[in-house]
Amino acid sequence: MGLDDRKLAVLRAIVEDYVATQEPVGSKALVERHQLGVSPATVRNDMAVLEEEGYIRQPHTSAGRVPTDRGYRLFVDRLSRVKPLSPAERRAIERFLVGAVDLDDVVHRTVRLLAQLTRQVAVVQYPSLARSKVRHLELVPISTTRLMVVMIADTGRVEQRLVELPGPVAAEDVTDLRRVVNEKLVGSRLSDTPPLVQALVDESTPQLRPAMATLSSVLLETLVERHEERIALAGTANLTRGGLLDFQGSLRPILEALEEEVVLLKLIGEAEPSTTRVLIGDENEIDNLRAASVVSTGYGPGATIVGGLGVLGPTRMDYPGTIATVRAVARYVGELLAQN
Amino acid sequence: MGLDDRKLAVLRAIVEDYVATQEPVGSKALVERHQLGVSPATVRNDMAVLEEEGYIRQPHTSAGRVPTDRGYRLFVDRLSRVKPLSPAERRAIERFLVGAVDLDDVVHRTVRLLAQLTRQVAVVQYPSLARSKVRHLELVPISTTRLMVVMIADTGRVEQRLVELPGPVAAEDVTDLRRVVNEKLVGSRLSDTPPLVQALVDESTPQLRPAMATLSSVLLETLVERHEERIALAGTANLTRGGLLDFQGSLRPILEALEEEVVLLKLIGEAEPSTTRVLIGDENEIDNLRAASVVSTGYGPGATIVGGLGVLGPTRMDYPGTIATVRAVARYVGELLAQN
DNA sequence: GACTGGCACTCGCTACAGTCGAGTGCCAGA
DNA sequence: TCTGGCACTCGACTGTAGCGAGTGCCAGTC
């Protein structure tokens, strides 16, 4: 088990070279390209140990070595420093994000930016409703028996839903409904609302009760229970970089997984404060993504987290660079949101 | 030039066989699989003529024939009948679309349905704002100098925008603004609003004028000029069907094109009433899509068109089936929208 | 004149053999 | 513990040969 420093250096060198060239790396080439201070033969011995421990493997005899998922894991955990971003990248981020006019715009710009900087598939979750507070609820009568409910969250998200009322409701009653709903719900977290919403119905006047019952059930159902998360995606074309070598030749499972919102949420939606999560290959719970790695983190104004963002790419990816970019973008987006 | 009936039958058989098998089709196989009533030799002669006219070609000598874009065009225009949908498909459409709770839901369901039925990439444009009428404009104060404008269109689309006011505005003034804006704009087409919006400013009281000016410029800019179109996409995984044979081996350009909203809009956004547009390979104006075909049509409540939808796939696609499905889905969606 | 059967020809595909070379494992020696 | 040397492995590439689907052409028939 004892991996001395040199063996670790060899592993690091293998990962770096393989990521750069996409070709199995041999002992001779390694010694030439890195100052390891030892001969190829020694490196070979180290490689044999690393292979036995499961950090690298040979695609076939008489070929160089390639890192395994486990090897990447060790590399990420212990052998790499997060690269500081280049000034050019910082500028790119700022330039890209400045001038966003609303939340939609912010999210779209962010996801494109991430895809472009990392040259990978980028995923951004809209601020989660579960973590948002109600800023305002607007009721707009569409007809006498139809209401459009527009909820504005403090994170900037706006959700609307059509409500079919059980019977006609007068304009004054709508005003009443609006007032009551806002008085009770504004400022509260959506995930905490169920009792509040229930109270709404109990406390309404008999006249308003039927309408309020429908309204509150729609609110509960669409905003809390089936809590509507949104996701933006960009950069799928990046999957085709590196020919067919990555993803063992078939993009199919990856593309399929990317179409499932549930899957995406699972990938990036479980963010914890100020952590960057890296899932490498097999560590991924989703079978379709066993050939991919995901780097994700949470973002939000200040220290709170309102959503997740991240990128997905081949296990053979530039982890230090990707991690740095994901973090930086998340931080900038957080700042942007804090300004609202 | 004279293509007699048999030659046309041969072309039709070639297209059908090639679409089904994805392999160049030879004279012998053709005669066996279709009742042409002539010998392979005769078919060969016909093939030679068809090739000379540019309807089919040989990938290489000593291989069968493959339709050219021009061949598909002739097939679509003159040799195929639109297949009626199977009852199972009709049921699938109804089952899928029933129960949609709002426009977002309708669009998402539609695009997934289309992708699933045609087994191709599906694209659905949200009802265009340019073709929508204003149903209601809501102004929600976020702070004393910030307003959220929520526009609800008669097509069900809801757009919101944050407006930074030049100075603080009192609550009563917001009420005034809301009343005025709604009085003037409700019921009008957004594309017709520029003069109306201008009038809004001219007619406001001095007190409201600065706020109204900002508000109206935002309205103009975001809803009319840079008229915000939305697009939903699904089924990209279907691009990987048929191995690497379709799209001459690289999905890259296709995926890139699909990421550009502008491109997608161009593809499906120029719908004309009750026409199904078929663009085959080279006919496509977008270079990246020269290896693909697009089948698109408009949809909307009743006879009006509010947006486009369609699918994109390899030139080697089942045109009759795809056309039928696209039309049917568009019709159902139209009916669904008409109910609102 | 249109169609057919026959025939020589083309050429991609597959299989097989041979060569090359990067890379390895192992071992004796420093 | 490291190193240089050496035999070995095996994938990648090359060249050759045979197979067969498919063609174009032509002479013959209805």
Q: pLDDT by residue (tens digit) across B278-294?
A: 999 999 999 999 999 99
Footprint of strand C on the protein (CB under 7 A): A 24-29, 40-41, 44, 47-48, 51, 58, 61-65; B 6, 37-39, 41-42, 45, 60-63
DSSP secondary-structure letter at A86?
A: P
Contact A240 B234 (CB under 8 A): no
Helix (H) or strand (E) holding A333: helix A319-338
DSSP string spanning A123-170? EEEPPPGGG-BEEEEEEEEEETTEEEEEEEETTS-EEEEEEE-SS---
Nearest amino-acid residue to C11, taking CA and C1': B62
Give the pLDDT of residue B74.
Answer: 95
Long-range pairs of A168-175 with CB within 8 A, sequence gap ≥ 24:
A168/A144, A169/A141, A169/A144, A169/A145, A169/A211, A170/A144, A171/A141, A173/A207, A173/A208, A173/A211, A174/A139, A174/A141, A174/A147
Q: Which CATH class is domain A130-224?
A: alpha beta
Taking phi over 0 as left and psi of -120 to 50 as alpha, with beta for the rest, A11 belongs to alpha
Judge whether B233 and B123 are in contact, CB under 8 Å. yes
pTM higher than 0.85, yes or no? Answer: yes
DSSP secondary-structure letter at A192?
A: G
Q: How many CB atoms lie within 10 A of CB A198?
A: 12
Q: Which fold has domain B3-78?
A: Arc Repressor Mutant, subunit A (1.10.10)
Chain B residues closer than 8 Å to A222 by CB: 101
Nearest CA in chain A to B134: A142
Q: Identify the three-state secondary structure at position A204.
A: coil
Nearest amino-acid residue to D9, taking CA and C1': A62
Contact B136 A136 (CB under 8 A): no
Q: How many CB atoms lie within 10 A of CB B84?
A: 11
Give the pLDDT of residue B329.
Answer: 95
Cα pseudo-dihedral B75, B77, B79, B83, rounded to 10: 100
Task: Name the nearest CA neighbour of A125 among A262, A285, A23.
Answer: A262
Give distance CA B63 / C1' C14 (Å).
Answer: 16
Tell me which residues of chain A have a C-beta less than 8 Å from any C-beta of chain B.
Answer: 101-102, 135-136, 138, 140, 142, 148, 150, 152, 156, 158, 160-162, 222, 234-237, 239-240, 244, 250-252, 255-256, 258-259, 340
Angle at the Cα of B160 from the Cα atoms of B158 and B166, rounded to 5 degrees: 150
For chain B, domain boundaries:
3-78, 87-128+229-338, 130-224
Q: How many CA atoms lie within 13 A of B207 on its CB side?
A: 7
Nearest amino-acid residue to D1, taking CA and C1': A42
Judge whether A126 and A229 are in contact, CB under 8 Å. yes
Total CB pairs under 8 A between chain A and B:
82
Nucleotides of C under 7 A from a protein CB: 3-6, 9-12, 21-27
Q: Provide the edge-to-edge strand list for the sheet that holds A231-234.
A: A231-234, A121-125, A307-314, A292-299, A276-280
Helix (H) or strand (E) holding A6: helix A5-21
Chain A residues closer than 8 Å to B114 by CB: none
Contact B158 A161 (CB under 8 A): no
Helix (H) or strand (E) holding A311: strand A307-314
Q: Identify the three-state secondary structure at position A175.
A: helix
CA B310 – CA B305 distance, rounded (Å): 14
CATH: 3.40.190.10, 3.40.50.1110, 3.90.550.10, 3.30.450.40. Which one for A87-128+229-338? 3.30.450.40
Q: Given B102, B140, B252, which is nearest A240 (Cβ)? A: B252
DSSP string spanning A251-296? -HHHHHHHH-HHHHHHHHS---TT-EEEEEGGG-SSGGGTTEEEEE
Render each residue's pLDDT in chain B as its tens digit; 340 residues: 467 888 999 999 999 999 998 889 998 888 888 888 888 899 999 999 999 999 999 988 888 899 999 999 999 999 988 888 999 999 999 998 888 878 888 999 999 999 999 999 999 999 988 888 888 898 988 888 988 898 888 888 888 888 888 889 888 889 988 998 898 888 888 777 777 777 878 888 888 888 888 988 888 887 766 667 889 999 999 998 876 667 766 788 999 999 998 899 988 877 676 689 999 999 999 999 999 999 999 999 888 899 999 999 999 999 999 999 999 999 999 999 888 6
Angle at the Cα of B309 from the Cα atoms of A160 and B68, rounded to 5 degrees: 160
Contact A150 B158 (CB under 8 A): yes
Judge whether A124 and A330 are in contact, CB under 8 Å. no
Give the pLDDT of residue B1.
Answer: 46
Render each residue's pLDDT in chain A as its tens digit; 340 residues: 467 888 999 999 999 999 998 889 998 888 888 888 888 889 999 999 999 999 999 988 888 899 999 999 999 999 988 888 999 999 999 998 888 878 888 999 999 999 999 999 999 999 988 888 888 888 988 888 888 898 888 888 888 888 888 889 888 889 988 998 898 888 888 777 777 777 878 888 888 888 888 988 888 887 766 667 889 999 999 998 876 667 766 788 999 999 998 899 988 877 676 689 999 999 999 999 998 999 999 999 888 899 999 999 999 999 999 999 999 999 999 999 887 6
| Per-residue three-class SS string for chain B | CCCCHHHHHHHHHHHHHHHHHCCCECHHHHHHHCCCCCCHHHHHHHHHHHHHCCCEECCCCCCCEEECHHHHHHHHHHHCCCCCCCHHHHHHHHHHHCCCCCHHHHHHHHHHHHHHHHCCEEEEECCCHHHCEEEEEEEEEEECCEEEEEEEECCCCEEEEEEECCCCCCHHHHHHHHHHHHHHHCCCEHHHHHHHHHHHHHHCCCCCHHHHHHHHHHHHHHHHHCCCCCEEEECHHHHHCCCCCHHHHCCHHHHHHHHCHHHHHHHHCCCCCCCEEEEEHHHCCCHHHCCEEEEEEEECCCCCCCEEEEEEEECCCCHHHHHHHHHHHHHHHHHHHHCC
Contact A235 B259 (CB under 8 A): yes
| Both structure tokens of B18 | 């090639």
Q: Which nucleotide is nearest to A65 (CA to C1')?
A: C23
Give distance CA B32 / C1' C16 (Å).
Answer: 35
Give the pLDDT of residue A227.
Answer: 61
Judge whether B329 and B114 are in contact, CB under 8 Å. yes
Give distance CA B52 / C1' D20 (Å).
Answer: 26
Footprint of strand D on the protein (CB under 7 A): A 6, 37-39, 41-42, 45, 60-63; B 24-29, 40-41, 44, 47-48, 51, 58, 61-65
Give distance CA A43 / C1' C29 (Å).
Answer: 19
Q: Give the residue from A133, A155, A158, A161 with the most B CB atoms within 10 Å of its CB, the best one to mutate.
A: A158
Q: Which nucleotide is nearest to B26 (CA to C1')?
A: D22
| Residue A57, burial from CB neighbour count under 10 angstroms (0-12, 13-18, 19+) | middle
Contact B135 A158 (CB under 8 A): no
pLDDT tens digits along B142-154: 888 988 898 888 8
Task: Name the nearest CA neighbour of B157 among A142, A216, A234, A248.
Answer: A142
Judge whether B99 and B338 are in contact, CB under 8 Å. no
